[in-house]
Structure 1
Amino acid sequence: MSLSLTTTTKTRPLAHLALHSTATCSAHATVYGKCILATYTDVSKDACKAEFAGFAKCLRDAV
């Protein structure tokens, strides 16, 4: 049994977000992930704020 993309996106918004975010925001996610990886031992407020803002904007634009 296979669901069409339209049915999936209407009934499963998280699946829709995941599909679009991985297809269009992988570069932004990579930059954000590298920042988190580089600073996880010395956590400070807003350490990766710019990277997260870019990733979040990409996600909003993708959906």
Structure 2
Amino acid sequence: MNPPSATTTTQRPLARLAFHSTATCSAHATGYGKCILATYTDVSKDACKEEFARFAKCLRDAMGRK
């Protein structure tokens, strides 16, 4: 039995992240994206902080990390 390659072990977390960011957390990603779109011409610090925090929490929960 061959040990998993570095590419295989790297792709699994990335694939999981990609899946959760587009499927599991799509509502939060959409909210964050809409906020960015609404404020991109007048960028200010923490303009979308709440939306990003909700999206990040969803990803952490979906990925099993705290």
Structure 1 unaligned runs (5+)? 1-9
- 4+ residue runs over 4 A deviation: none
- State which drifts further: 19-28 or 37-46: 19-28
Structure 1 segment 1-63 matched on structure 2, within 5 A: 11=9, 12=11, 13-63=13-63
CA distance in 2, matches of 1:26, 1:16: 14
When normalised by structure 2's length, the TM-score is 0.76
| Distance of 1:34 and 1:52 partners within structure 2 | 11
CA distance in 2, matches of 1:21, 1:35: 16
Larger Rg: 2
The unaligned stretches of length 5 or more in structure 2 are 1-7
| Normalised TM-score (structure 1) | 0.80
User: How many residue pairs align between the two structures?
Assistant: 54
CA separation in 2, counterparts of 1:14 and 1:59? 12
Q: Secondary structure at the match of 2:58?
A: helix
